[in-house]
Amino acid sequence: ECGLTELARATQREVERLTQLDKHPHIVTLLDTNLDEEPPFYVMELVGRGSLQQWVTVSAPADPRRALRWMTQIADALSYVHGKGLIHCDLKPANILIDERDSIRVVDFGQSRVFTESSASLGTLFYMAPEQAVPAQAGTTIHPDVRWDVYALGATLYAILTGHVPYATPINVQQMKQSTTLDQRLSNYRELIDHDPRPSWGHSRVNPEVRAVIDKCM
């Protein structure tokens, strides 16, 4: 029952957000919903060419010109989201789908927050801004920040353009796995981003101006 209650809350949040954001060409469209069913459900448009996750590979990263077009579309979608007083909070390649015209759709607003909330929202490790990586605790006030999404945008673009998830070296990934509690994992995550060298572009074909934008996002 607790699981269904949590599922219902996440589904309700997703439906509420998509209802607010239903007018943007780069945000997925909500088609139908019924929150009274067990389990509750919603139906989105079919976006049939997978997600940007397929380019997070060293052997075949995204073409820079193509990625730059996606970057513009994602930024436009985020600007619309922020203009509605919302923060996505879990932007990453797997949450950005591609349609048949090679345009993107941002999905998964289940972790999103409104500007006025004082509530933690954890994203995905190595795409999440370090200042977002704070667990919800009694008496702790967390102010969601649009810069969380800006960091995640930079991390997403870096990942698809280089094939490497920023800071996700084998040593750092192993360290995260060895953390025994959520608090420890988040603390270790914040520390490694604060102290590790900034992600290198290596021999990437991305031009310096675009690199500078992405670096500033992170």
List the catalytic residue out of 32, 63, 90, 102. Answer: 90
145 is catalytic: no
Cβ proximity of 124 and 151 under 8 Å: no
Per the omega criterion (within 30 degrees of 0), is the bond before 39 cis? yes
Neighbours of 183 (CB within 10 A): 12
Give the distance between the most distant pair of CA atoms in the chain.
53
Residue 207: Cβ within 10 Å count = 11
- Residues 127 and 92 sit within 8 Å (Cβ to Cβ): yes
The residues carrying an active-site annotation are 90
